[in-house]
Amino acid sequence: MPSNDSHDSQLLRHYAQFFPNVLFTSEEEMEKYCQEARPDAVRKVLDLPEGEEVPEDVMKDPRAHLYILMHIVGRNATTAAFVALRGSDKQKVVAKFIMLNDEKQAAYARSEVHCLAACDHFGIVKHYDDLKSEDKAATNHGVRQWRRS
């Protein structure tokens, strides 16, 4: 029977593959990507509207919107949550994946993201990034600040 660590590593790689230029399973993997990152590649990853410039923080430090998945916190049929490290400052965050099976779920996920992004309160988790993969097997990904209780 495979070890728990082996299973966790496979699970991390499975989720990281949906966002290969944003999520990594090790710091070495992320650093290799950063050394090769180019502005046009960064623009594509961020999926910026035509004419919008790549944010200055991203150009100064390509790690600004990159995350290293560390371990799973929990999951069910439609959602998975992982402790991750934000690439720019190694702050612990939670990366949440949501399967979007229909437009109703997508609308709910968008409303959750908009609410979190608008909040700035010590008692409410902070929203950093959200991404969407067009891969039908993939998930919407939101990165939230992780707080210890």
Among the listed residues 6, 9, 41, the one whose alpha carbon sits nearest the alpha carbon of residue 25 = 9
Question: DSSP label at 54?
Answer: P
Of the pLDDT bands very low, low, confident and very high (cuts 50, 70, 90), residue 148 is very low
pLDDT in the model for residue 63: 82
- Residue 1 pLDDT greater than 50, yes or no: no
Measured CA to CA, the distance from residue 100 to residue 106 in angstroms comes to: 6
Domain ranges of the chain: 4-145
Q: For domain 4-145, say whether CATH 3.30.200.20 is its number.
A: yes
d(CA 146, CA 125) in angstroms, rounded, equals: 7
Residues 116-131 have a mean pLDDT of: 81
**pLDDT tens figures, 88-120:** 889 898 888 887 878 888 888 888 888 888 888
The whole-number pLDDT of residue 143 equals 54
| Least confident residue range of 58-62, 122-126, 144-148 | 144-148
With beta carbons less than 8 A apart as the criterion, state whether 41 and 21 touch.
Answer: yes
Three-class SS of residue 26?
coil
- 140 has pLDDT over 60: no
Where do the DSSP E strands lie in the chain?
Answer: 23-24, 67-75, 79-86, 92-98, 127-132, 140-145
Answer yes or no: is pLDDT of 142 > 70. Answer: no
Model pTM score:
0.71
Q: Where are the alpha helices (DSSP H) in the chain?
A: 4-16, 27-36, 39-46, 56-60, 103-118
Report how far residue 73's alpha carbon sits from residue 62's, in angstroms, rounded to the nearest whole number: 27
Question: What type of residue is 25?
Answer: T
C-alpha distances in Å from residue 123, one per residue of 85, 119, 143: 21, 10, 17
Q: How far is residue 43's CA from residue 61's CA, in Å, rounded to a whole number?
A: 14
Per-residue pLDDT band for 68 (boundaries 50, 70, 90) equals very high
60 pLDDT above the threshold of 80:
no
Strand partners, 50: none
pLDDT at 136 over 80: no
